[in-house]
Amino acid sequence: HSAGAADPECLVIAHRGASGYLPEHTIAAKAMAYAQGADYIEQDLVMTRDGEVVVLHDHYLDTVTNVRDVFPDRARADGRFYVIDFSLAELRQLAVSERFQMDSDEQSAVFEDRFPLGQSSFGISTFAEEIELIQGLNKSTGRSVGIYPEIKSPAFHREERKDISTAVLEVLRDYGYSTMQDKVFLQCFDPFELQRIHDELLPAMNMAVPLVQLFGTGPEFEPLLTEQGLQRVAAYADGIGPSMFLIIKPDSVATDLQGTDLVERAHGLGLIVHPYTFRRDQLPAFVEDFDELLQIYLDDMDVDGVFTDFPDLTVTFLESNL
């Protein structure tokens, strides 16, 4: 049985799917994450010009698709291609690949040992399609895997006259995620948006779902990390999703781990803690291997779940360390 069932204390959250093995946020990566035993599967959500909610990490297309080749004249003044400038039908024409960067005109993979660029065939899915995949697999396998959607760049969407949060909640409600008991966590980096969802949108729609406040390492998150800030977060959120470096400082070395009290303080306020991102091919300097990384966070720091690109390795670790 899955690690989650054996150890309800620790959730394996597939970060953009099994993104260590297949291009992030493709249906293939989600199916693989499901098969590898993930407890929850993550969806990053952005909106199209015609108001569809699609699963992509950024509101840009140029680092994970061939949009430059298919629609070369559709970049904005900054040279980027924005999801919101395309209809769903147009996005369906794009091929999705492993994440890449442009060096002059050459593409190079961000993670060079992952799925090769330009191989096979992958596309963009809507949020609804991905939910149907996961719910369909729940039916065919008898498991109960949850979803972990993230509302991306709500302020950007608002400037483009799109209320992404309401659109996301409507999809959740349509597919039966509307109570605290349902297998869903809704996450966002924007504290104002998460508060708005908690205070206004959920009550107006007669819904209640668990909310997770994400934390980056930037200075804008420092006010939220104070005692008072965290108390404010606990008033509207049920959990936090911090960078792993907010739990152990990045300049730590193996012989001298600089742990913080964030997990302890969050737990004291009744918040669950799901740090990101656990990657075998991007280890912090203070560990030798992936298992050691998991050991430190899951056992020593007592987190409640992890976002990982390698769900299988994380499930195996939990099963062998129970």
SS3 177: coil
Active site residue 57: yes
Residue 105's pLDDT is what?
78
Residue 102's pLDDT is what?
83
DSSP β-bridge partners for residue 143 = none
Alpha helices in 105-163 (DSSP H): 127-141, 154-159
Q: Which candidate in 1, 25, 57, 198 is catalytic?
A: 57
Residue 104's pLDDT is what?
73
Nearest to 19 by CA among 104, 75, 96: 96
Q: Which residues contact 22 (CB under 8 A, 6 or more apart)?
A: 28, 29, 32, 115, 122
**Distance of alpha carbon 209 from alpha carbon 133, whole angstroms:** 21
Q: Which residues contact 247 (CB under 8 A, 6 or more apart)?
A: 259, 260, 262, 263, 273, 275, 297, 301, 303
* Structure-block tokens of residue 104: 């002059």
- Give all strands (DSSP E) within the chain, no chain letters: 11-14, 40-47, 53-55, 100-103, 106-109, 146-151, 186-188, 211-215, 239-242, 272-273, 305-308
pTM, entire model? 0.96
One digit per residue, pLDDT tens: the chain, 322 residues? Answer: 233 333 457 999 999 999 999 999 999 999 999 999 999 999 999 999 999 999 999 999 999 999 999 999 999 999 999 999 999 999 999 999 999 998 777 899 999 999 999 999 999 999 999 999 999 999 999 999 999 999 999 999 999 999 999 999 999 999 999 999 999 999 999 999 999 999 999 999 999 999 999 999 999 999 999 999 999 999 999 999 999 999 999 999 999 999 999 999 999 999 999 999 999 999 999 999 999 999 999 999 999 999 999 999 999 999 998 6
Residue 114's pLDDT is what?
97
Residue 2's pLDDT is what?
36
Q: Which candidate in 15, 25, 59, 274 is catalytic?
A: 15
Q: In this structure, what DSSP letter does residue 94 have? A: P
